[in-house]
Amino acid sequence: MIDNYLLEELVTFAKYKTLAKTSAELNVTQPTVTRGMQKLEDELGVQLFDRQPNRITLTKTGELAAEKARSLLQANQQFITEIKNYAQNQQVLKIASVAPGPQIVLEQNLQKFNANITVEQALLEQNNVEQCLLNHHYSAIITNREIQTELIESRYIGKENLYVNLDQFMYLANQQQITFKKLTGLSFVVLNEIGPWKQVIQDHIPNAKFLYQAEYDSMQELTKYTNFPFFTTNFTIPDEVYNTDDCITIPITNDAATMTFYAAYLKSQRSMIAPLARKLVSVWPRNNNSQ
């Protein structure tokens, strides 16, 4: 078996082209690199380097060997990362979400799960869900898209409904429910990190302006001291979240204002994650548990 350090020397030389730069990058002496190159050739039984009095280059075979060595090193690192992540997940269930609502439900009910669970605070992009599961970065991911593949499955968890909060003196505030179209042209103050909800409001409210806030504290200040409309869901109580008691909370009736969530996980982890998914369904807001 060829030692990894020999492959690393080969890959580094292919990148930097000289012994001096290779040795400097690897923090070893040039004679050490030279001996390693010769040892690699001896173990493979082929010539990898074209040696001239003042110059050394890779042969065509050497270029191919460097390319294959790079792939082997990457696969080896991937192997190490996946095994470490898997081992960690056996002790701690790491849960991520593509939207903030499921995070709220998880964090409010951690003591009910009878498991050592950590909730990732940063939202995950939907297009990263499958790879993060396959790499064992997370034990499960709450996503707004059902995933069923050879290695991954997902279970329905529940729904989240979008509401708009309007100043009580606005002409729209006397309605029991509202549509996106009726919000045309308004300016909203919105938290930046709201996952797929951002695309929903941008796509469905014509000519609207969205004043995105990166910090939660800034959002609180604006909702407290201005009359800009803002969004919440049935998981959040405006008075408690934004310290405002002069707004009217109105449900939005469009289909796009209801988002369905699933717990996605590796099928190999079903025995560990399925009970957690069932528990999450049981603590999900009751008025959302019908599919």
Report whether pLDDT(106) > 60.
Answer: yes
Q: Do the domains spanning 89-158+259-288 and 160-257 agree at the CATH topology level?
A: yes
Q: What is 160-257's CATH number? A: 3.40.190.10
Residue 3 Cα distances to 118, 131, 162, angstroms: 38, 29, 57
Residue 207 Cα distances to 166, 186, 212, angstroms: 18, 8, 16
SS3 249: strand
pLDDT band at 288 (very low <50, low <70, confident <90, very high): very low
Average pLDDT over residues 236-241: 62
Report whether pLDDT(222) > 90.
Answer: no
b/e per residue, 149-159, with b = 16+ CB within 10 A?
eeebbbbebbb
May I ask the CATH class of domain 89-158+259-288? alpha beta
The two tokens of residue 282 are 């049981």
pLDDT band at 242 (very low <50, low <70, confident <90, very high): low
Structural domain boundaries in the chain? 4-78, 89-158+259-288, 160-257
Report whether pLDDT(245) > 80.
Answer: no
DSSP 8-state symbol, 229:
-
Q: Nearest to residue 159, comparing CAs of 75, 57, 236, 262?
A: 262
DSSP 8-state symbol, 252:
B
CATH architecture type of domain 4-78: Orthogonal Bundle (1.10)
Average pLDDT over residues 215-227: 83
pLDDT band at 237 (very low <50, low <70, confident <90, very high): low
Mean confidence (pLDDT) of the chain:
88
DSSP 8-state symbol, 125:
P
Average pLDDT over residues 237-248: 67
Amino acid type, 48: L
Q: Kindly report the backbone phi and psi dihedral angles of residue 247, in degrees, each rounded to the nearest multiple of 5, phi listed first.
A: -125, 160
pLDDT at res. 275: 86
Residue 6 Cα distances to 40, 71, 74, 217, angstroms: 6, 14, 14, 53
pLDDT digits (tens, 9 = 90+) for 249-286: 999 999 999 999 999 999 998 888 888 899 999 999 86
pLDDT band at 89 (very low <50, low <70, confident <90, very high): low
Half-sphere exposure of 10 (CA within 13 A, CB side): 30
pLDDT at res. 141: 97
Amino acid type, 231: F
List the beta bridge partners of residue 55. 52
Report whether pLDDT(102) > 50.
Answer: yes
